Structure 1
Amino acid sequence: MRRQRGGSGTVSAVGAGPVADALTLEGVSREYRRGTVALHPVDLAVPRGRFLAVMGPSGSGKSTLLQCAAGLDRPTAGTVRIGGTELASLKEAALTRLRRERIGFVFQAHNLVPSLSVAENVALPLMLGGAPSDGRAAWALEAVGLAERGADRPTELSGGQAQRVAIARALVTEPDIVFADEPTGALDPATAHGVLSLLRQAVDRDGHTVVMVTHDPVAAAWADEALFLARGRAAGRLDRPGADEVRRVMRDLGRDRATIREEGQRA
């Protein structure tokens, strides 16, 4: 797809490097009504051209972090930047435009529009922004191996093919960053392998940045780094994570959670 960029460093200290990171979080927290804290202050910087997996037990704050980072939810406190743009500084219309033009989204439910063709689904972010597709939908479909399916409807695709279309749609605007929320959660292992391979290729060949929330240690092993959350707080990280290492950390987090629950019941 696009020309490969540099930026294969680790998750860095906030503010490091002469070029703005793809994603920066400074003291980002999220509290809901009745004092429920979903995310305690988190600092994070993801360099361009990096694949980060975010993991943790259920209720650890993974999805909240992704929603705040992607501008889908406003944090209670802290700063989120996409590139050098601070999201809190944007009015709603400008924030919507930034999400459409500079962020790609891939979700477990691929969210394709059944009344549109596959090619129209891929081109949707361009059409909503009033930009001509200039063949970019066909180019994106070719990149995910579905060049011949542009005229089909989403209902004619398998689950894995539909998710590949979702990846093509996420990449068609050449975004600063792609957020993927459990992109393989509904797929069998062989199909999931193909989807993760495409995300890995988007980073290695095309220089995209990917932040993926997942519960699957095998999926996390495709990333350059895994960030672990527990009870809404950063709880550890692994460079070049292996599936067995990820399982070990997740077991430890699960034991810690069980211990806290037991102590609370005895109190």
Structure 2
Amino acid sequence: MLLPRGRFLAVMGRSGSGKSTMLNCAAGLDRPTEGTVTIGGTNVAALGERDRTRLRRDRVGFVFQELNLLPALSVRENVALPLLLAEEHGRNRTRERDPLRCADRALALVGLEERAEARPAQLSGGQRQRVAVARALVTAPAVVLADEPTGALDPVTAHEVLDLLRRTVTAHGPAVLMVTHDPAAAAAADRTVFLAAGRITATLEHPSPAEVLRELARW
């Protein structure tokens, strides 16, 4: 399965269908039993642990339902954290890679530059999810992996976050691989694939929510 930059792929399937395993393989956390995972031409499974960690840090962004924002840090510091950790592992700082400058640019992309000094607890659920998206984008990754990014949000806020991911793909070019149970979320993608027992059983291009629901009804 090919996922070029600038494309948005949604993955749906029942519990145990292999969605989480797919994300873990894409991130280099698990090794695939068949086939290969490549990011920017690099075979992830062929790398040693240190190089896989570096690839995740530099080329992959993560957005999770749980968000994993650190409550003691400001919004700006939470977004800058991947770059700050990279510095601890030997990456040299440049003006263009200054973590706080990059965090401010990422926050501007998601419309939260004015909340940079706030703590996560001072934000709404939708704003916290936008912070998580900004953190995923701060390293200018090749791919963003999103695990149920709208699962804990109300429909209006979920639509805002999906629109943000859609605009991110269009304007800034990363690929997005999103696991979701929500037909409306799946319909925001360019393509939706359905998994069962670790295999793709169906694919829809630019689906509507009704088309996603019809496919789900076949399971």
TM-score over 0.5 (shorter chain)? yes
Task: Report the more deviating stretch, 230-239 or 180-189.
Answer: 230-239
Separation in 1 of the partners of 2:30 and 2:117? 35
Structure 2 unmatched runs, 5+? 88-92
Aligned equivalent of 2:53, options 79, 96, 106: 96
**Partner of 2:29 in structure 1?**
72
Instruction: State the shift of 1:134 in Å.
Output: 5.8
**Partner of 1:81 in structure 2?**
38
Give yes or no for the alignment of 1:54 onto 2:15.
Answer: no
Amino acid corresponding to residue 160 of structure 1 in structure 2: G
**Partner of 1:182 in structure 2?**
148
**Partner of 1:196 in structure 2?**
162
- Whichever of the two has the greater Rg, that structure is 1
**Partner of 2:112 in structure 1?**
146
Identity %: 62
Task: Report the more deviating stretch, 172-181 or 225-234.
Answer: 225-234
Instruction: State the shift of 1:105 in Å.
Output: 0.2
**Partner of 1:245 in structure 2?**
211
**Partner of 1:232 in structure 2?**
198
The list of structure 1 runs, each at least 4 consecutive aligned residues, that deviate by more than 6 angstroms after superposition, is none
SS of residue in 1 equivalent to 2:152: coil
Q: What is the TM-score when the length of structure 1 is the normalising length?
A: 0.77
**Partner of 1:15 in structure 2?**
none
Instruction: State the shift of 1:203 in Å.
Output: 0.9
In the alignment, is the contact (CA less than 8 A) between 2:74 and 2:120 conserved in 1? yes
Could you say which structure has the higher strand fraction?
A: 1
Give yes or no for the alignment of 1:125 onto 2:91.
Answer: no
SS of residue in 2 equivalent to 1:178: strand
Structure 1 unmatched runs, 5+? 1-43, 254-267
**Partner of 1:261 in structure 2?**
none
**Partner of 1:31 in structure 2?**
none
Number of residue pairs the alignment of both structures matches: 210
Instruction: State the shift of 1:70 in Å.
Output: 1.3
SS of residue in 2 equivalent to 1:205: helix
Q: In structure 2, do the counterparts of structure 1 residues 207 and 171 end up closer, same or farther at CA, with 3 Å as the change threshold?
A: same
Instruction: State the shift of 1:76 in Å.
Output: 2.9
Map Cα deviations across residues 143-188 of structure 1 (whole Å, 9 max, x no partner): 1011111111111111111110000000011100000000000000
Name the Cα RMSD after superposition.
1.1
SS of residue in 2 equivalent to 1:79: coil
Q: In structure 2, do the counterparts of structure 1 residues 134 and 187 end up closer, same or farther at CA, with 3 Å as the change threshold?
A: closer
Amino acid corresponding to residue 48 of structure 1 in structure 2: R
